[in-house]
Amino acid sequence: MWEIPNRFVQSIRDQPWAQNCREQDFWKFLLEWIKDVLLPEFLVEISGQVDEITEIDPDCSDQEILSMATHHMVDFLGAVSASVRIYDPATEQMLSYGSYPPEEESRETYIPLTMTLAGEVVRTGRTYLVPNILFEELYQDKERVMKKGAYSVMAVPMSFPRLSPYEAHTMGVIQLYYQEKDKLFLPLEIKMAELMARRLSFVMARKRILSLYRINEKKETIVQKIFLKLGSREGVKMKEVFNRVVPELADIISLQSCALFAVTEDEENVFLEAGYPDTSGYHGIGKSFPIESEPAFKLVLRREDYESDSPYEILTPSYMLIIDPLKSRYISGNMKAFARDHNINSILYVPLTVGEGVTHFMTFDAREQRKRYTEGEIEIFVFLGRELMKAQRMERLDDILHDFKNPAIATAGFARRLKRLIEGQESLQEAETIRKYTEILLVETSRLQEMALSIYQVGKEQVVNLTSILINRFDINSEAIKEMLKQNVTVKEGPYHDPLYVRCYPLHLERILDNLLNNATNAIPLKGGTLTASTFLDNGWACVEITNTGLIPEEERRRLLQGEGRGRGIYITYRIVRLLRGQINITAEKNSTKVTVRFPLASSPDP
């Protein structure tokens, strides 16, 4: 290593001013001074500056790390300021990613890769020197930096190493600004800037390794929270899943709300499958929205291309970020009003694909105005969305398994009766009864088939006669009461308002009525009582009223009104009623309980 000072001395002796200096003692003392004093002090200074960068806490955000690193570079290299831009392959632009002194608010978020100084450094991978900004064609924003007293620039490349063979290197540039005009950049300061930029890459690599660890830790937590719920006796309830999982995102996003949307079978609408918080309103569970009503929906579902150069949104293959909902032209007037009322300052849309198509997407409404999300954060959101899709399918399966018992009991009972009638001598006299039982068997087995298929789809909304469906379900429930040999139960029908039209998924309406009739039947005391059902019209609402003997405790009544009863049937009923934009009310009367369900009245169907 001592050849280094020897080379320094030889280099000095070759200088013109040193040609006449022949004293051997001078060169000997100079060599000793370089070895003993200059080089150690220089190395201490260099290693100290490098250590300042390598010891930056990787727990800081990317912007904080880059800001601290550029602070050290500015101080050591005598610059006045520095900025960092990272190449974003999703947009093929250079993204503003930190500066010292901090001035992100006044800098352009994106600049092009081509015909820019930062883009040229990333493209070539070499340091670019600008002695005078006035004469540099690649530097676009001359006026802004000269107002700050900067007239020359050294742009140094940096890269963050990939941690997997499937990902690319992250490329970027550090731009150091100096006061001097026509600055002569010394080789030593160029090499030092490049060395510090390379050491910065190690800090970012440590951060990425730590981030990967925490991403996996976060994923495990999400899975654990969901599967703890899967293992409970009540089965999966998306409301509870959201309440368990969403708090885990608190360290990533200042969340106002989030929601899981599904695309309908006809691909014309989206409806809200689940959300947090679970409150009614613009984002009430079960609400349906035409895709055409929200420009953002069309973008995230890839119905149209993004052809804007606006600073208010970012669109990538993995997500769409609305930086400012009140200014973005891709947010509808209704949604802008909602964002204003609920203090939502940025909205993230994360599409979830099955095969080649987007079948679901999640939205994350943030109180802070986020300008970007890291790849790791997006990875967590996509993972969460996919796990919620699984949980949502499990919830449907639990619901269907619960509701299978009503048609299954009816089918088995009527099949046994039909068999006895056919085998008996009086079968010819009971032709009408046989026809009725056969029709019931056909209807109920068809319902079993529909319920099985509804795990994947729920059919199409139709205008149906609520009274007609209630009469049919009440009849089936009455036969089921006989099949279960439930004693001393008197059934009474009416009065009915007929017809009474509602728009709904017919299978959903049947499941609501089945659960309400079954719960009412089971609530009748052992000594017996009465079960009644009726329909009526009330100020634009189509109403069903089911009453049973037996008094409900007040605490249980309040829980049922919130969909939190002990049985799964009331949870299913509550959720589907909301899905159909209806209302449910439970009142305790003298020695009886009355359940009233209201649905928006629909116009009569076309002939």
Least confident segment among 76-90, 133-147, 560-574 = 560-574
Model confidence at 79, in pLDDT bands (50, 70, 90)? very high
Which run of H or of E encompasses 420?
helix 405-423
Round to whole Å and give the CA distance between 240 and 501: 33
pLDDT for the residue numbered 533: 92
**Choice between 145 and 347, residue whose per-residue pLDDT is larger:** 347
pLDDT for the residue numbered 543: 93
Mean pLDDT of all residues in 274-302? 76
**Choice between 45 and 295, residue whose per-residue pLDDT is larger:** 295
Place of tokens 């990902």: 167
Least confident segment among 104-113, 156-165, 424-433 = 424-433
DSSP 8-state class, residue 20: T
pLDDT for the residue numbered 121: 92
pLDDT for the residue numbered 221: 74
Round to whole Å and give the CA distance between 386 and 390: 6
High-pLDDT (> 90) share of the chain, %: 10
Q: pTM of the predicted model, to two decimals?
A: 0.55
pLDDT for the residue numbered 591: 85
Round to whole Å and give the CA distance between 65 and 200: 9
pLDDT for the residue numbered 235: 55
| Mean pLDDT, the chain, integer | 78
In this structure, are residues 563 and 574 in contact, taking their beta carbons and an 8 Å threshold? yes
pLDDT for the residue numbered 17: 57
Q: Is the pLDDT of residue 428 over 70?
A: no
CA angle 570, 575, 580 (to 5 degrees): 125
**Secondary structure string (H, E, C) spanning 185-215:** CCHHHHHHHHHHHHHHHHHHHHHHHHHHHHH
Distant-in-sequence, close-in-space partners of 509: CB < 8 Å, separation ≥ 6: 464, 466, 469, 502, 580
Distant-in-sequence, close-in-space partners of 565: CB < 8 Å, separation ≥ 6: 556, 559, 571
Distance between start and end Cα atoms, the chain: 98
Model confidence at 24, in pLDDT bands (50, 70, 90)? low
Which residue, 349, 302, 344, is CA-closest to 325?
Answer: 344
Model confidence at 475, in pLDDT bands (50, 70, 90)? confident
Distant-in-sequence, close-in-space partners of 492: CB < 8 Å, separation ≥ 6: 530, 531, 532, 533
Q: Is the pLDDT of residue 126 over 90?
A: yes
pLDDT for the residue numbered 287: 74
High-pLDDT (> 70) share of the chain, %: 71
Which run of H or of E encompasses 175?
strand 170-178
Express each pLDDT in 436-467 by its tens digit.
767 676 667 666 656 655 544 545 678 889 99
Q: Is the pLDDT of residue 153 over 90?
A: yes
Express each pLDDT in 381-408 by its tens digit.
887 777 777 776 666 666 666 566 666 6
In this structure, are residues 178 and 154 in contact, taking their beta carbons and an 8 Å threshold? yes
**Number of C-beta neighbours around residue 392 at 10 A:** 18
pLDDT for the residue numbered 50: 77
Express each pLDDT in 198-247 by its tens digit.
888 888 888 877 777 777 777 777 776 666 555 455 555 666 677 777 77
Round to whole Å and give the CA distance between 445 and 409: 11
In this structure, are residues 568 and 234 in contact, taking their beta carbons and an 8 Å threshold? yes
Round to whole Å and give the CA distance between 231 and 185: 67
Which residue, 486, 537, 542, is CA-closest to 513?
Answer: 542
Q: Is the pLDDT of residue 313 over 90?
A: no
pLDDT for the residue numbered 379: 81
Distant-in-sequence, close-in-space partners of 203: CB < 8 Å, separation ≥ 6: 53, 54, 56, 58, 65, 69
Alpha helices in 55-147 (DSSP H): 62-77, 117-124, 142-147
In this structure, are residues 213 and 174 in contact, taking their beta carbons and an 8 Å threshold? no
Q: Is the pLDDT of residue 365 over 50?
A: yes
Q: Is the pLDDT of residue 597 over 50?
A: yes
Express each pLDDT in 102-116 by its tens digit.
876 667 777 888 888
Model confidence at 1, in pLDDT bands (50, 70, 90)? very low
Least confident segment among 24-33, 35-44, 174-183, 360-369 = 24-33
DSSP code per residue over 261-305: EEE-TTSSEEEEEEEES---STT-TT-EEEGGG-HHHHHHTTSS-
CA angle 124, 125, 126 (to 5 degrees): 90
Model confidence at 535, in pLDDT bands (50, 70, 90)? very high
Q: Is the pLDDT of residue 471 over 60?
A: yes
**Choice between 119 and 451, residue whose per-residue pLDDT is larger:** 119
Which run of H or of E encompasses 476?
helix 466-483
